[in-house]
Amino acid sequence: MSTTNAPEGWLDDFASEGRGANASTGILLVHGFTGSPASMRPWAHFMNELGYTVRVPRLPGHGRNWEDLNAVSWEEWPARVVQDLQALRTTCSKVFVFGLSMGGGTTLNVAENNLVDGIVLVNPMIHIPGIQIKFAPVLAMLKKGMPSVGNDIKKPDVTEWGYDELPTRGVLQLNKLLKSTKANLAKVTAPTLLFHSVEDHVLPISNSDIIMSGISSSNKQRIEMTNSYHVATLDYDADLIFANALAHVKEWS
């Protein structure tokens, strides 16, 4: 996995206006930690080809050099999503936010504090379990980076075009985002569709369990995926995600 030789423009912000009856519905897609907009581009193109207005922001610290993530504060990630949310609101009467992994946690954070018409979460992250995170502050002082946990994809020869290194100070900020978001999950009331991979080598099932039990949405659905790993938006179950997300958008728009 690397950001080297990624398709031109796929590591950058992406936006495309919709057309026809669906143009007034906006779709905002949020990538994961150490990942890039590339992991959400096929999904964005799928929705845009159906006429929806789409935006895929490059979250601060991503898509360039892994060390950039060591200089970012967690508040910058939801702030960037809100920026695109507000931009979509200028032309769209309905806006949905789709999030992958940490992008799912960021989506929840945004939904806690802003009006969204629905959310779709793919293997979303809401906590970092285990004892290792307790030693993260010390580790961050000793090392800038560690081996990456990204690119967990079952389909061969597919990459999410993310970082090869896991920035240790960035992990501290990630943990702060998740703690803040987890503490306020009850504020999420938007219709929610959550996808969870049965075999995920990055996040334990506890993340999805906490989210489904913690949000206040009266309309929430969970779909298990049996043929994808963590980055399911680029894996064998991508079509399953796209089709059900489309139905979710149609139902609530």
Active site residues: 101, 200, 230
Whether the CB-CB separation of 75 and 180 falls below 8 Å is answered with no
Length of the chain, in residues? 253
At residue 162, what is the residue type?
Answer: G
**What is the per-residue burial (b if ≥16 Cβ within 10 Å, else e) of 17-49?**
ebeeebebbbbbbbbbbbbbbbbbbebbebbbe
d(CA 127, CA 177): 9
Q: State how far the alpha carbon of 68 is from the alpha carbons of 82, 97, 128, 157, in Å.
A: 21, 25, 21, 27
The 10 Å Cβ neighbour count of residue 168 is 20
Q: Are strands 53-56 and 94-100 parallel, antiparallel or unpaired?
A: unpaired
Q: What six digits make up the tokens of 162?
A: 């993310």
The 10 Å Cβ neighbour count of residue 102 is 24
DSSP assigned state of 248: H
Please name every residue paired with 62 in a beta bridge, in sequence order, or none if there are none.
none
Query: Exposed, middle or buried, 222 (CB in 10 Å: 0-12/13-18/19+)?
Result: middle
